[in-house]
Amino acid sequence: MSDLIGYQERTTWMGQETLTLADLWPDNPRAMIVGLNPAPTSVETGHYYQGRAGQGQLRKLAAAGLFGLPSGRHFEEAALAARVGFTDIVKRPTTGEDGVAKAEVAHGSRLLADNLSARNVGFIVCVFRHPVKALLGTEGVPGMQEKRTSWGAQVFRMPGPYDKRDTVEKMLAELTERLQWDAP
């Protein structure tokens, strides 16, 4: 009998057993949401982006039309129904970015690019800045990135959770326009 809840999984990350969140790959992905690594609170509950900032970012993505808005705190089912999945660069949970080693990012970036390319993911949403740098070599600025991944995917960097309202509205309008190209 498994004691795992939600989307928790046990895996080996760089030689260490760790409890983390499973990658959620929809069939024929329309988009993938990529994070740096899961927060301990998210792993504890077995659901992606359970912190205040992450919840706000996912609500913004739902408002932009990436997927439907769920009735509670868990966005995975609504996202998967819209062919949008979740993954992280680094599988080891930490409280903040300072707890993630450069070697982990380098290792995870290679695995991530291989997985995204193999599944022919053409659109990637980065909730925070770190995955943009891992995928494109630069953090870029919020919004649609001019540079594409090595396999041709387009990357959107979310505005920060505390950015000015007009910046957030402008970037989300850009996302909404992009999403109209390939509505589910």
DSSP letters for 114-151: HHHHHTT--EEEESSSHHHHHHHSS---SEE-SS--TT
Question: What is the arithmetic mean of pLDDT over 1-8?
Answer: 87
Evaluate if residue 1 carries a pLDDT over 60. no
Evaluate if residue 46 carries a pLDDT over 60. yes
Retrieve residue 62's tokens.
């739902």
Domain ranges of the chain: 29-179
Determine the pLDDT at residue 161.
82
Predicted TM-score of the model (pTM): 0.93
> Could you give the dihedral angle defined by the CA atoms of residues 13, 30, 150 and 63, in that order, rounded to the nearest 10 degrees?
-90
Evaluate if residue 184 carries a pLDDT over 80. no
Band (91; pLDDT cuts 50, 70, 90): very high
Q: What is the pLDDT of residues 126-165, one digit of tens each?
A: 998 889 998 999 999 999 999 999 999 999 999 988 889 9
Evaluate if residue 2 carries a pLDDT over 80. no
Which CATH number does 29-179 carry? 3.40.470.10
